[in-house]
Structure 1
Amino acid sequence: MLSRRVDAPTRHTAARLDWVDAAKGLSILLVVAHHAVWFLQRSGQAPAAVVTANEALASLRMPLFFLASGLLAAGPLSAPWRVVLHKRVAFFLYLYVIWTVIRFTFFATVVPPEVDPDESADPLGLVLALVLPGPSMWFLYALAVFAVVTKLARPLPVWLQLGVTGALSALVGAGMVDFGDTRWTYMSRFLFFFLLGCYARELAERLAAATSLLRVAAGGVACVAAAGAAVALGLRTVPGVALALQCLAVGSGLLLAAWVARYRFGRPLVVLGTLTLPIYLIHMMWLAAIMIGVRHVELPPAAAYALPVVLVPVLTALSLLTHRALVAVGATWLFALPPRLAHRAS
């Protein structure tokens, strides 16, 4: 039966828990959906209601992704600097550089400019990639930067780290602080959630353990009601409101992930959470290739609403199949540090 429950994880001190992977799986699906809507909007094929729903999910999508990443990074970041630099900094920067070049080459040679919503084939963007992270690979860049910041800040009290980054997120979210670059602005907002994942694991575990269908539904209703009220009353520019909405969304997302992870129908989402890297790296090239053929199609209203939903599993499957094929032919260097750069335990 689909609703048959499986035993809840008992590895409370383990590095990975099923609900954390389910949260990552949910996040990557939301990221794929966001990019699908983004490309469809570029071609004028995304209905206004779909664009609005995609924008509303911004409070959940990346904050939950960074929180889950922080939950998994807390242990590795407590290691000596040499290990951190190999496993968290060099690893993510290596992937960032490799895939930024791959993405630039693909979009410059295959994808027409009118399909690309973020000027991925801009040579200046490639030259400045180590200073101004690219619009699609910036998550990897952020994880490397966050590892360094978190390691440097470890001697400081946790309340101070969360207080400062929370205040920064609140000010940036209200538009009162602007770094002049969208990706650095995003990173300044989401560092708080990464640190929250590193330091508030026990709180997250208690929240996950308390999940139920009723609480998941209540959390979803609360998110919609709060977001609607903020928009109706014009409160989004008030410092702290956007951050509060993100915290509420992340809490509801954790409840949902933990509830889904308890049942057999949630196992695919849990497994997907362990495979987010290849999906993140590959899916936008498949999306661009599909949009080359779809952009001139006159979509009936029903198809315009259904297409983003259909694209999510299609792009996810194509990305995972591409990853498997690349690994099978020996291109593991596309997804892992070369042995000479990887950390070797003494």
Structure 2
Amino acid sequence: MTAGVLENTGQVTAGRRLDWVDAAKGMSILLVVAHHAIWFLQRSGQAPAAIVAANEALASLRMPLFFLASGLFAAGPLAASWRVVLHKRVAFFLYLFAIWTVIRFTFFATVVPPVVDPDDSANPVEFALALFLPGPSMWFLYALALFAVLAKLMRPLPVWLQLGASGLLSALVGAGALELDGSRWTYMARLLFFFLVGLHARTPVERLAGLTSVLRVALAVAGCVGAAGVAVVFGLRTVPGVALALQCIAVATGVLFAAWIARLRFGRPLVHLGRRTLPIYLIHMLWLALIMIGVRHLELPTAAAYALPFVMVPVLTALALLTHRLLVAAGARWLFELPPRLAYRR
């Protein structure tokens, strides 16, 4: 699988197992779209405090689950030669990172008023330093390329050492005991652990998914909410390891939920969506910025302010997928795929 967590793939392995991973990816991408929508609404003063707080709480789930899924798909390519790794993982993701960083910068610099953008995406200094300080929305692609290189380099090391070292790094950074320049590097330091868990602990993760049931999902959600509440009430998040533990609990809950919903008929759209995360991830922010140019002028009633993020998520997702289909039909497949001259050849 060339693009792992982001690639639209038709490969099937063990049917339901792939379905739940795709459901996890679908859930993650919807949470990412919701996060960005709330982020923009917060910038314009239109996001209710409760929605903002819920969005912050979901940070323990959305990207750790995404990177876990990415690690699950990466084992095959990373077991191959360096040539395969560099083509299928590094070149692919860095190509997308480079081209969409240019697109995003150009779009926000020419179309989007600065007052709309919470990321300062049109900053020419940050654009010039993108290879050293990855941008606010494209950093995930950068991280996948970097993690592939790191995982390949670490293959000779014992798995316990890889997970222990990356877990320690995540715990220290998550507690603020170790500070890194740039929030994106901070994110990557915290999330490498989950990529490596997906890469090396596929069997235990699959066993967890196999244990799913309505009762276990409900108990996991209750435990996740309770643990987060205790951490907030007693101010424990600055204790090294607590933030990492909360992320692990949230990811375990996400795995159980994805495995449960993937078995149900009404969960099929989520599975289907999980196989098409790439265009959603790349395109939805452009549509979001355009929508916010108009929405920021509205005086929203309280009910509408609470409902708006839930409305924007499916709208942005549909617009991104439609835009992707139109671009591919127009011959712009190169926006989403590595050019043939750079792609891996046996």
- TM interval, shorter chain, is over 0.9
1:98-155 residue CA offsets vs partner (Å, 9 max, x unmatched):
0000000000000000000000000111100011100010000000000000000000
**Is residue 224 of structure 1 aligned with residue 258 of structure 2?**
no
How far apart, CA to CA, are the structure 2 residues paired with 1:344 and 1:180? 38
**Is residue 204 of structure 1 aligned with residue 241 of structure 2?**
no
Shift of the alpha carbon at 1:239? 0.3
**Is residue 265 of structure 1 aligned with residue 266 of structure 2?**
yes
User: Secondary structure in 2 aligned to 1:289?
Assistant: helix
Aligned-residue identity in percent: 76
Shift of the alpha carbon at 1:16? 6.9
Q: Which residue of the partner structure matches residue 156 of structure 1?
A: 157
How far apart, CA to CA, are the structure 2 residues paired with 1:37 and 1:110? 21
Q: Residue 16 of structure 1 contacts residue 72 of structure 1 at CA under 8 Å; is this kept in 2?
A: no
User: Secondary structure in 2 aligned to 1:134?
Assistant: coil
Q: Which residue of the partner structure matches residue 256 of structure 1?
A: 257
Given residue 140 of structure 1, which amino acid in structure 2 is its aligned partner? L
How far apart, CA to CA, are the structure 2 residues paired with 1:30 and 1:321? 19
Given residue 164 of structure 1, which amino acid in structure 2 is its aligned partner? A
How far apart, CA to CA, are the structure 1 residues paired with 2:13 and 2:110? 48
How far apart, CA to CA, are the structure 2 residues paired with 1:135 and 1:15? 34
Q: Residue 17 of structure 2 contacts residue 206 of structure 2 at CA under 8 Å; is this kept in 1?
A: no
Shift of the alpha carbon at 1:335? 0.2
User: Secondary structure in 1 aligned to 2:188?
Assistant: helix
Q: Which residue of the partner structure matches residue 144 of structure 1?
A: 145
**Is residue 42 of structure 1 aligned with residue 46 of structure 2?**
no
Q: Residue 60 of structure 2 contacts residue 250 of structure 2 at CA under 8 Å; is this kept in 1?
A: yes
Q: Residue 153 of structure 1 contacts residue 161 of structure 1 at CA under 8 Å; is this kept in 2?
A: yes
**Is residue 69 of structure 1 aligned with residue 70 of structure 2?**
yes
Q: Residue 98 of structure 1 contacts residue 334 of structure 1 at CA under 8 Å; is this kept in 2?
A: yes
Q: Which residue of the partner structure matches residue 7 of structure 1?
A: none
1:6-25 residue CA offsets vs partner (Å, 9 max, x unmatched):
xxxx944x897110000000
How far apart, CA to CA, are the structure 2 residues paired with 1:18 and 1:77? 22
**Is residue 123 of structure 1 aligned with residue 127 of structure 2?**
no
**Matches of residues 25-104 of structure 1 in structure 2 within 5 Å?**
25-104=26-105
Given residue 150 of structure 1, which amino acid in structure 2 is its aligned partner? A
Q: Residue 70 of structure 1 contacts residue 194 of structure 1 at CA under 8 Å; is this kept in 2?
A: yes
Q: Which residue of the partner structure matches residue 306 of structure 2?
A: 305
Aligned residues: 335
Q: Which residue of the partner structure matches residue 284 of structure 2?
A: 283
How far apart, CA to CA, are the structure 1 residues paired with 2:316 and 2:334? 22
1:254-276 residue CA offsets vs partner (Å, 9 max, x unmatched):
00000000011111100111101
User: Secondary structure in 1 aligned to 2:167?
Assistant: helix
Shift of the alpha carbon at 1:42? 0.1
User: Secondary structure in 1 aligned to 2:61?
Assistant: helix
How far apart, CA to CA, are the structure 2 residues paired with 1:180 and 1:130? 14
User: Secondary structure in 2 aligned to 1:178?
Assistant: coil
Given residue 274 of structure 2, which amino acid in structure 1 is its aligned partner? G
How far apart, CA to CA, are the structure 2 residues paired with 1:186 and 1:82? 28
Shift of the alpha carbon at 1:74? 1.1
How far apart, CA to CA, are the structure 1 residues paired with 2:13 and 2:294? 47
Unmatched runs of 5 consecutive residues or more in structure 1: 1-9
User: Secondary structure in 2 aligned to 1:27?
Assistant: helix
How far apart, CA to CA, are the structure 2 residues paired with 1:15 and 1:267? 11
Q: Residue 15 of structure 1 contacts residue 75 of structure 1 at CA under 8 Å; is this kept in 2?
A: no
Q: Residue 23 of structure 1 contacts residue 253 of structure 1 at CA under 8 Å; is this kept in 2?
A: yes
How far apart, CA to CA, are the structure 1 residues paired with 2:78 and 2:312? 36
Distance change >3 Å, CA 15–CA 331, structure 1 → 2: farther
Q: Which runs of 4+ in 1 moved over 3 A?
A: none
**CA-based RMSD:** 1.1
Q: Which residue of the partner structure matches residue 4 of structure 1?
A: none
Q: Residue 15 of structure 1 contacts residue 72 of structure 1 at CA under 8 Å; is this kept in 2?
A: no
Q: Which residue of the partner structure matches residue 3 of structure 1?
A: none
Given residue 137 of structure 1, which amino acid in structure 2 is its aligned partner? M
TM-score by length of 1: 0.96
How far apart, CA to CA, are the structure 2 residues paired with 1:178 and 1:281? 29
Q: Residue 134 of structure 2 contacts residue 142 of structure 2 at CA under 8 Å; is this kept in 1?
A: yes
How far apart, CA to CA, are the structure 1 residues paired with 2:98 and 2:236? 39
How far apart, CA to CA, are the structure 1 residues paired with 2:167 and 2:320? 35
**Is residue 168 of structure 1 aligned with residue 208 of structure 2?**
no
Q: Residue 47 of structure 1 contacts residue 304 of structure 1 at CA under 8 Å; is this kept in 2?
A: yes
Shift of the alpha carbon at 1:180? 1.4
Shift of the alpha carbon at 1:75? 1.2
Given residue 339 of structure 1, which amino acid in structure 2 is its aligned partner? P
1:196-247 residue CA offsets vs partner (Å, 9 max, x unmatched):
0001110111011110011111111001100000011110000000000000
Shift of the alpha carbon at 1:315? 0.2
How far apart, CA to CA, are the structure 2 residues paired with 1:35 and 1:293? 16
Unmatched runs of 5 consecutive residues or more in structure 2: 1-11
